[in-house]
Amino acid sequence: MAKAIIFDIEKAQLLNKLFNIIMIQHKLIKLLIFCIVVFTHQAIFAQYTITGRITDAKNGDPLPFASVGLKGLNVGAQTNFDGVYTIKTKFLSDSIYVSTVNYKKKSKAINKTVTAQTIDFQMQAEAKSLDEVVVYSGENPAFKILRRLRENAEKNDRKRLTAFEYDSYSKMELDVDNISDKFKEKKIMKQIQGAIEKFEKIAGEDGKAVIPTFISETLSKFYFRETPNRKKEVVLKNNIKGVGVKEGSFISQLVGGNIFANYNFYDNFVPFLGKDIISPVGNNWKGTYAWYISDTTDVDGHICYGMEFDPKNDKDLVFVGKAYIDTTSYALVQIDATIGKQANINFIDKIKISQELEKTEEGAWLPAKTRFLIDIAEISKNSAGMLLKMYISNKNFVINQPRDLPFYDIPVEVAEDSKEPDPNFWLNARHESLSAQDILAAKLIDTVRNVPIVKTYVEIAEIIASGYKRFGNKFAVGPYINLFAVNSEEGLRTRFGFKTLAGFDKKWILKGWLGFGTKDLVFKYGGEMDYILSRRHWTVAGIKHSYDLERIGLTPELIGDNKIFYAFTRWGRFTGAYYRRESEIFLKTEPTKGISFNIAFTTRNFDPLFNFQFRTQPELGPKSPSLDGYDDSFITVEARYAKNETFLMDGNERISLGAKRIPVISIVYQHGMKGVLGSNFNYQRITAKIYQSFRVGSFGRSDYTVQAGYIPSELPAPLLFPHLGNQTLFYNRAAFNTMHFFEFVSDKFVSLNYNHNFEGLLFNRIPAIRQLKWRLIASANVLFGSQRQDNLDLMKEAIPVINPRRTFDKDGNPIIRPRYNFSALEPNIPYVEVGYGIDNIFKIFRLQAFHRLTYLDHKAPNGDLPQSFALKASVHFSF
């Protein structure tokens, strides 16, 4: 009985344990079921977010229009204008990839344990093959879209607006890139090694470091008027930091951006760096580019065709890239256009222009965002390159409310209180937040520019570029090109000059120079004092005086702005030399944009060192008295018309950016005043000049200069029109390059100088030399001129003048000097020369041959035979 009770108790305890085990398992099962339900719910309803930025690995430039997708899934996105993408999905794959035009496809692993992550890509460029042939059964479907774009261009193009204005924010950065390991070993780079390491870290695992040398932010207002064509940018605020940059008005005018980067792809050509690049959506879209449709997508609410374009010849001045065209209005909504180093442009690895446009209430589209990049190639393998990047954001558009014409007189105007370094101001003012690299760049520029060796390099570069050594912002010494010369009259000639800068005074400008020759032992000198009456209408009054040795037919007023050519004419055999003492008082003004006047009173004398005389009473023939020099006082009135010419102010100097495509016309009238300050002559002198540069479609660019002059008065030959010859080895665009100095003189003439640059039209299509980027050039110079018999008789033999200073040397020995033969052209036989050659040899040399076609038997003034053939060279830097 006892055993039975004990067994029942043990059985009960065992059953109880089994029950407890069952209950625990039940709870575990319930918990497991709960967890399964929870995780299943999360798996079904979870939202994963992946964001990132796609950039060029070499230069950090954002890549718009890049396709981003999850491998193995039909899930993806496209980067926006700033290269940013966002993917939201319920399902993840193992990796994410990026694909875009002209870059290698790339992928990265995805972390599946987090719901939000950032994955950036630095993309490596890849040359795109242009050898593929796409065959369509019928017409390429892209052609229909592009024809519709051109048909609707008139209503979509901003040119339909009478005026527009907007608020603008721009950011500019200049960097050193392509920093090789050998270049890092240079002394200058070792001193900024810390900066390099920081930028290598922020560039990303595949990116290359760039070292910032300049960065700026600018707030401005931009104004445009269509008829007449005017534009203006008012810089309101800016913050500028740079190595070797002297903050001031000139730099502030450059960083605004809109005055230079207002690109319009509806035009047939997009101007950039002085080049005319064929627009992919201009009228020549079919003859120059290969097009195809890549996709259709939503761009800021506009359903657009994605269109890719390639050049048919990548050596031409053409783009490659992608454009988005609205499917309803056929307007250009976005474009990303790149020029590679294959194109016939010097010193450039890449040019890239990206633009996003916004539709206005009138239907026309205006640029809302623009980004451009210039990747300047390194000169050698052991050097570094440069990278210029600019971003412009525009908003608050106001259309069809043109301002009065005087409002546009100053194209770029900087507010008095424009400098704004306060970072708190820019936090709210800028349209887009700065990237981490932008913030670091601004901090490191101060470090880089304070390195002593950097300061030295910057100073040397400034002297080479400007010709002057500056001392602060008050004085400058130079120009160095005139420091010395060696010639037959002066021996070793030295000259030292100076000028004051805006820091000295913003109204007064002082200039002066002193020269001396070791052979003639004569001091030469010059001085000038100017006063700026108005900057808005650029009105300057001044007075100047000089005493110098000049050459007949090679005076500064005849040569013009070609200071290098003028400096070289002071070397070697110095024929036709004379001393000239000159005084002048003048007034220059521009009362309205594009029209300027110059009024001056001048007195000068002519004191030749060669055998020279002219008849004072030519009616007496050989019995006429004569003079071997003269005094001349005259008034000059010059009117100049240059529509759309743009100027920038550099301190107290005004710098012209040229007048594109519009002829520049000038007319000069001079009136000689006999008896005033001993002047020997009364006369009238009229000259006119027209200059224009223009594009000849795809055949390149031409420029011409037409000049004409007339003197109805009787004057000695040096006061007539001496035609500019060229006996130097250097090419001069304004000269007759097979003509001797002062070989021909006219009292009435008309001339044409025509030059054409075929760019790469011919050499780009020759396989053996297309990589050299040579450019074929051609020119023709024609001159019609003559002299009246009265002026010819004036220069004939007369009673000689006995001038002890010119007839005998210091030891009393007679001096025999040749007499010049001042020849005239035959009225019905023009002087003609033609030229041809190659430009862009080794990117800096120009070599041009000239053939003289007429006056082959004519002798120069000194008796030399004519140059029937001449080979001229020049060195110039151009893109």
Do the first three CATH levels of 48-123 and 467-875 match, i.e. the same topology?
no
Structure tokens at 454: 């950097």
Q: Tens of pLDDT along 642-678?
A: 987 877 777 888 878 777 678 999 999 999 999 999 9
Is it true that domain 467-875 has CATH number 2.40.160.50? yes
Mean pLDDT on 371-384: 74
**Burial status of residue 198 (CB atoms within 10 A of its CB: 0-12, 13-18, 19 or more):** middle
pLDDT on residue 419? 84
What tokens appear for 455 in the block?
A: 């300061």
Judge contact between 388 and 351, C-beta under 8 A.
no
CA distance 850 to 846: 13
Whole-Å CA distances, 709 to 555, 751, 785, 822? 17, 9, 9, 18
Asked whether the beta carbons of 196 and 186 are under 8 A apart, the reply is no
**Structure tokens belonging to residue 835:** 């030229």
pLDDT band at 543 (very low <50, low <70, confident <90, very high): very high
pLDDT at res. 732: 86
Q: At what angle do helices 436-449 and 193-202 cross, to 10 degrees?
A: 170
Cβ burial, residue 582 (10 Å; 0-12/13-18/19+): middle
Max mean pLDDT among 258-262, 344-348, 864-868 falls in: 864-868
Residue 470 is predicted with a pLDDT of 84
Reported confidence tier of residue 804, pLDDT bands at 50, 70, 90:
low
| Rounded (5°) CA angle 77-80-82 | 135
Q: CA dihedral defined by 849, 855, 861, 867, rounded to 10 degrees?
A: 20
532: which residues sit within 8 A by CB, 6+ positions away? 506, 507, 508, 509, 539, 540, 652
The mean predicted confidence, pLDDT, of the chain is 83
For residue 723, pLDDT over 80 is answered with yes
User: Taking 70 as the threshold, does the pLDDT of residue 696 lie above it?
Assistant: yes
Measured CA to CA, the distance from residue 269 to residue 819 in angstroms comes to 55
Q: Where are the beta strands (DSSP E) in 431-522?
A: 469-471, 475-477, 484-487, 491-500, 508-517
User: What is the residue whose two structure tokens read 């709960």?
Assistant: 34
Q: According to the model, what pLDDT value does residue 515 have?
A: 95
What fold is seen in the domain 48-123?
Immunoglobulin-like (2.60.40)
- Please give the pLDDT value at position 158: 93
Percent of the chain with pLDDT over 70: 82
**399/360 Cα distance (integer angstroms):** 8
The DSSP bridge pattern shows strands 748-757 and 845-852 to be: unpaired
SS3 content of the chain, % helix, strand, coil (to 5): 20, 45, 40
pLDDT on residue 688: 97
Please give the average per-residue pLDDT across 348-354, as a whole number: 86
Confidence of residue 603 (pLDDT cuts 50, 70, 90): very high
String of b and e for 132-162 (b: at least 16 CB within 10 Å)?
Answer: eeeeeeeebebeebbeebeebbeebbbebbe
Contact 314, 758 (CB under 8 A): no
Question: What is the DSSP secondary structure assignment for residue 425, as one 8-state letter?
Answer: H
pLDDT of residue 817 exceeding 70, the answer is no
pLDDT for position 331 = 95
The 3 state secondary structure assigned to 99-115 is ECCCECCEEEECCCCCC
- Pick the more confident residue, 286 or 441: 286
Contact predicate 873/730, CB 8 Å: yes
Confidence of residue 592 (pLDDT cuts 50, 70, 90): confident
Alpha helices (H) along 321-367: none
Q: For residues 172 and 251, what is the distance between their CA atoms, to the nearest angstrom?
A: 11
Query: How confident is the model at residue 2, as a pLDDT?
Result: 42
**Residue 41 predicted with pLDDT over 60:** no
- Amino acid identity, residue 169? Y
CB atoms within 10 A of CB 328: 9
pLDDT tens sequence across 213-228: 788 889 999 999 988 8
3-state secondary structure of 161: coil
Can you name the residues that pair with 786 across neighbouring β-strands?
748
pLDDT in tens, 431-452: 888 777 777 777 777 666 666 6
pLDDT 10s digits, 675-693:
999 999 999 999 999 999 8
- What pLDDT does 375 receive? 84
Q: Under 8 Å CB-to-CB from 313, ≥6 apart: which residues?
A: 764, 765
Say if residues 493 and 570 touch (Cβ distance below 8 Å): yes
Query: How confident is the model over 727-732, as a mean pLDDT?
Result: 86
pLDDT of amino acid 6? 44
Entry field: residues in the chain: 879
How far, in Å, CA of 753 to CA of 127, rounded? 42
Higher pLDDT, 803 or 432: 432
d(Cα 196, Cα 209) in Å, to the nearest integer? Answer: 7
Tokens standing for 590?
A: 């521009």
Which residues have CB under 8 Å from 234's CB, separation 6+? 220, 221, 223, 413, 414, 415
Residue 602 pLDDT > 50 = yes
pLDDT above 70 (res 189) = no
> What does the alpha-carbon distance between residue 771 and residue 767 come to, in Å, rounded to a whole number?
8
Residue 39 has pLDDT above 50, yes or no: no
Q: What is the pLDDT of residue 644?
A: 77
168: left (phi over 0), alpha (psi -120 to 50) or beta: beta
Strands, E, within 478-594: which ranges?
Answer: 484-487, 491-500, 508-517, 523-534, 539-551, 577-592
Looking at residues 454-462, what average pLDDT do you find? 65
Query: For residues 146 and 285, is the Cβ–Cβ distance under 8 A?
Result: yes
* pLDDT greater at residue 379 or residue 725: 725
Residue 233: which residues within 8 A CB-CB, separation 6 or more? Answer: 168, 220, 221, 222, 223, 256, 258, 259, 411, 412, 413
pLDDT of the residue at 599: 97
Q: What was the pLDDT predicted at 381? A: 64
For the residues 818-827, what does the mean pLDDT come to?
82
DSSP string, 254-289: HSS-TTT----TTSSEEEETTEEEEPTTSTTHHHHE
| 479 cis-preceded (ω within 30 degrees of 0) | yes
- In single-letter form, the type of residue at position 185 comes to E
Q: Which residues contact 847 (CB under 8 A, 6 or more apart)?
A: 837, 838, 841, 871, 872, 873
Of 370, 428, 798, nearest to 625 by C-alpha is: 798
Domain boundaries, the chain: 1-36, 48-123, 467-875
Q: Which of 751, 667, 671 is nearest to 713 (CA)?
A: 671
307, pLDDT greater than 60: yes
